[in-house]
Chains A and B, each alone.
Chain A
Amino acid sequence: MSYLNNPAVVMDNGTGLTKLGFAGNDAPSYVFPTAIATTTGKSTGSSNNSRSVDQTFSNLSLSESNTSKAYLNSNSTSATNFNSTSTHSSAILSNHLSGKRGTEDLDFYIGNEALLASQSQQYSLSYPIRHGQVENWDHMERFWENSIFKYLRTEPEDHCFLLTEPPLNPPENREQVAEIFFETFNCAGLYIAVQAVLALAASWSSPKVTDRSLTGTVIDSGDGVTHVIPVAEGYVIGSAIKNVPIAGRDITNFIQQILRDRGELDASLKTAEAIKQEFCYVCPDIVKEFNKYDRDGSKFAQYVVENQDKTSRKLIDVGYERFLAPEIFFNPEICSSDFLTPLPTLVDETIRSCPIDVRKGLYNNIVLSGGSTMFKDFGRRLQRDVKTIVNKRIEQSEQLSGTKSTGIDVQVLSHRRQRNAVWFGGSLLAQTGEFKSYCHTKADYDEYGPEIVRTFSLFNVAQ
C-alpha cells in the first residue's frame, strides 16, 4: 500500500541552526535558529496586556498575511538572523492565554518566531543546544514537539526519524533522545547518526566520487567552531578529532572590523555577513592578490545597503577583505593571537594521529561540510596546502631512508550540497528502502529499554 510509505523525517539540530525536512528532498524544508522563546512566567502588568490584545484585534484582519510572512521568511542561511521583520512582531504575539490558566507550558515559540517573540518582555529566548550537545532537555523536548507538529505537520507514530549527533556525544544523551522520541512521541522508528558520517555520505552526490566509502576526513565548519573529524569505515576516530576556534562568526567579525577601521558608512554585522556571503573567496597567494588589486581596480566591489522601505541607499566599498577574510583559516595570525595553527597543518596532524592503516584513505577523501567552507576555491587551496606538507615529509623520509615512496594522493572534495551536507547525507540515507530496517522501533524500545540506542548498525556501504 503506497500510503504507508511515509517519508522519513530528517532532523539536524545544530548549535546555531536546525535543519528539518523529509528524506528524499534535496534541501531541508526548514532552516531556522535552534532557539526557543518561553514565557518568563510573570505578567507584565494588566495595562500592558490589554494593549497587546487590542493590538491583536486591530491587526486581526492583517494578521493572516503577516503571520504567514513571518514563517515564509524563515529560510535563512545564517545563524545570526536578520529576517526578524519587526513590523510583524505585534501580529504573532498575544495568544490570548491570559484566560486559559494552566497552559503556560504551551506558550512558546521556536525558530524565527522565537527571535520575534523575544523582542517583547513576555518571552525570554534560550538556545537549548550548546556546543552541539543538548543542554536543556525541557526546552529541547518542546522544540521538537513544535517542529514536528506545527512545522512539519507529521504524526510521529507514522514516520521514522533520523536525528544527528555530534561526534563524541555521550551515550547517555542518546538514551535521553530515545526516551523523548519513544515515550513522548511514540515515533515509529529512530536512527541517530553521527554528523560527520552523514557529511561523508553527502559527498557521494558529487560526480567525482567513484566508490562510496565511509572513510575520510570531514572538515565541518559552521558558525561557532570548526572540527576536523577522521572517520574510518563509518566509525569516528574520537581520539584524533581536533577543533579550530575559527569559524563563520569570526570571519564576519573580521570583516566588520575592517569595515569599521576604514570608516565605512555602515559596518553592521548584517552588512558584514552579506559581504562575506556574496564577495569573499580564497586566493592562492596573498601577496600576488594584493598586487592584483593594486593594478586592477575592477577587483574592488561595492555593496549597496538599503533600508527597509528602500528610501535611502548607502554604498559600501569592498576591498581586500574579499580574500583576506577566508584567509584566516590558512593564516590565523591575521585575526587571532592565541590560535596560530593553520587549517592545513591541523588536518595533517589529525590524520597523522590516526592508525597508520587508514591514513591513506583519510588523505584521499577530505570532505567539506558546513556554510563556512562554501568560499570559492576553499577546497582547492586546502588540497594544495595539505599536499605541500605531505610531499615535503615524503621527500624528507626518502632522503633519510634512501628508498622511493609510492606517494600519497591528497584529495579535497567540495560539492554542491556542502552547506547542509549533514542534513543532505541524512536525507540520502533515509530515503533508501533499507532505512526502516536499520531503525530501532518502538517495539524494540519497549522490549529492551533506552540502552538499545547505544548501538546502531551502519548503513550498508556497498551499493
Chain B
Amino acid sequence: MLHLPNENLLIQKTLFEALEKFQQKTPIIIDRIVTDFDYTQYHLTTATLPQNEEELDESKIILSYRSKAWASLLKVADNDISKLNNFILSKLNNKFELVKTELSYDFTVSVDLNNLEMADIAQLSLLKIHILSYPFIQAISEFKNLQTQVIQSEEEGKILTSSKIYHIENRPNEEGFYVVASSDRITVIFNTKFQDYNDQIFGKVFIQEFIDSRKRNRAIQSSPQVLFSTVPPLEISKAVVKKSADDHFITFVLFPRHFDNAETEFLSIAKILQFRNYFHYHIKCSKAYLHSRMRYRVGTFLKVLNRAKIEEEKDTNTKKTFSGKKMVSF
C-alpha cells in the first residue's frame, strides 16, 4: 500500500462491530486497547452505570485517549483544559459527551450506541488528527488576524509574523513539530531524529528526492514548498532550546490556498500530521525492497555457483578385466 489511511482502522472496526451487535440486540462487552502512531493509545470499554459501578451499561462505550503530545497541546491552550476539550468536542460535532477522564488517560468521551451513525464512527476514528489539529486551527486564526492587519496598514509587501510559536512534542527526545503563522503563510517545521544510522542515510536521500520532486514534476506545483536543514530554521531558532547533532528539520510552507476552505484545511492538516509516520514507513519499505533485491541476487548467485560445480569425474583410470575384476593403476 502506497498510502497510509488517515483514520484508525481498528477504532472504526471495533465501534462498527459494537454498533452492529447492539442493533441486533446482542450487545458485546468490550475492553480493548488500540494504539496509533507517536505514543498514542486508546482504550475502548463498555460503560458502567452511573449509579452502580459494578453494573455494565451496554448501550454506551467509553473511549479514552492519551498521547505524548497532550502536555504540549495544553501549553498551546494556555493550560486551559476546558478550552482544549471544547475544541475537540466541537470537532466531533458535539455529538459525544465528555465524561470523567479515565486514570492515566488524557481525554475521555462516552459514545452512545443508540444514536451512533457511520459518519460519527468515521469522525471518532480520526480523533487523533482532530486533537492534534488544535495548534493548526490556532495558527490559521492568527494568520487571518495578521492578514487583516497588513491590509489595514496599507503598506506594500509588508509581512507580519506572529510571535507565537506552537511547539508540539509528540515523541521522546524533543522530536515534534512547530507551527508558526505569518501574514501570508503558515510554516510547519518538523524535527525528526533517527535512531538507526542506516535510517538516517535512507532518510536523507528520501528528503532530497522529496524536495526535488516538486521542482521536477509540474503537476504538483501547487503542493506546499518543502525545505530541509540540519540547523533550526530562522523562524523557530529561538524556540529550539536543545540542539543536537542528529536534528533534521523539514519545513513545509502552507499558503492560503492550502487552507482556504474546510475540506482542504482538513486534508492539509491530516497529511501534514501523518508526515513523520509516512516518512518512516517509507524508509522501512525501501529497506524491505532492498532486502528483496538482495535475496534475489543471492538466489541467482547460488544458481550460478550450482552450475559451476564440477561434476564428479568418471573413473577413467580403473579398467576392468574380462572377468569383471578391476585393474587399479597407481
Contact = CB atoms under 8 A, between A and B. Distances in A.
Do chains A and B interact in one complex? yes
Interface of A: 2-4, 6-7, 22, 24-26, 29-30, 64-65, 68, 71-72, 74-75, 95, 97, 100, 103, 105-109, 137-138, 141-142, 145-146, 149-159, 180, 183-186, 442
A4 B9 CA distance: 23
B17 interface: yes
Given A106-B1, A138-B295, A184 B288 contact: yes
A105 B2 CA distance: 9
A110 B183 CA distance: 46
B35 A152 contact: yes
Contact of A155 (B9, B10, B31, B38): B38
A146 B1 contact: yes
Contact of A186 (B199, B281, B289, B292): B199
Given A22-B34, A103-B2, 20 more contacts: A3-B66, A6-B35, A7-B35, A25-B31, A26-B31, A29-B14, A29-B32, A64-B122, A68-B7, A71-B13, A106-B2, A145-B284, A149-B277, A153-B37, A154-B35, A155-B37, A157-B280, A183-B287, A184-B291, A442-B195
Nearest to A188: B195
B285 interface: yes
A158 B35 CA distance: 11
Contacts of A141: 288, 291-292
Contact of B195 (A103, A149, A153, A157): A157
B266 interface: no
Contact of A72 (B17, B68, B196, B280): B17
B105 to A, nearest CB: 9
Given A6-B39, A71-B12, A155 B280 contact: yes
Contact of A6 (B1, B14, B41, B280): B41
Per CB-CB distance, the 6 closest pairs between chain A and chain B, nearest first, are A138-B292, A72-B16, A184-B287, A3-B68, A3-B39, A105-B289
Interface string B9-23: 110111011000000
Given A2-B104, A72-B17, A183-B287, A154 B37 contact: yes
Contacts of A156: 284
Given A2-B104, A65-B118, A153 B10 contact: yes
Nearest to A97: B2
B133 interface: no
26 contacts: A2-B104, A3-B39, A3-B41, A3-B68, A6-B35, A7-B33, A22-B33, A30-B13, A64-B122, A65-B118, A68-B7, A72-B12, A72-B13, A72-B17, A74-B13, A75-B13, A106-B1, A107-B2, A142-B292, A149-B284, A150-B5, A150-B9, A153-B4, A157-B195, A159-B35, A442-B195
A108 B1 contact: yes
Contacts of B187: none
Nearest to A27: B32
A138 B288 CA distance: 8
B251 interface: no
Contacts of B281: 145, 149
Contacts of A100: 2
B230 to A, nearest CB: 21
B292 A184 contact: no
Interface string B278-314: 0011001101110110010000000000000000000
Contacts of B35: 6-7, 22, 152-154, 159
B67 interface: yes
Nearest to A102: B289
A46 B35 CA distance: 41
Contacts of A95: 1-2
A322 B184 CA distance: 73
Given A2-B66, A22-B34, A180 B12 contact: no
Scoring A4, A71, A75, A151 by chain B CB atoms within 10 A of each residue's CB, the highest score goes to: A71
Contacts of A155: 37-38, 277, 280
B285 A106 contact: yes
A151 B2 contact: no
A29 B143 CA distance: 42
Nearest to A23: B33
B284 A153 contact: no
Interface string B27-49: 00001111111110100000000
A137 B292 CA distance: 8
B108 interface: no
A376 B243 CA distance: 64
A97 to B, nearest CB: 7
A105 to B, nearest CB: 5
Contact of A25 (B9, B33, B37, B38): B33
B119 to A, nearest CB: 9
B182 interface: no
Nearest to A7: B33
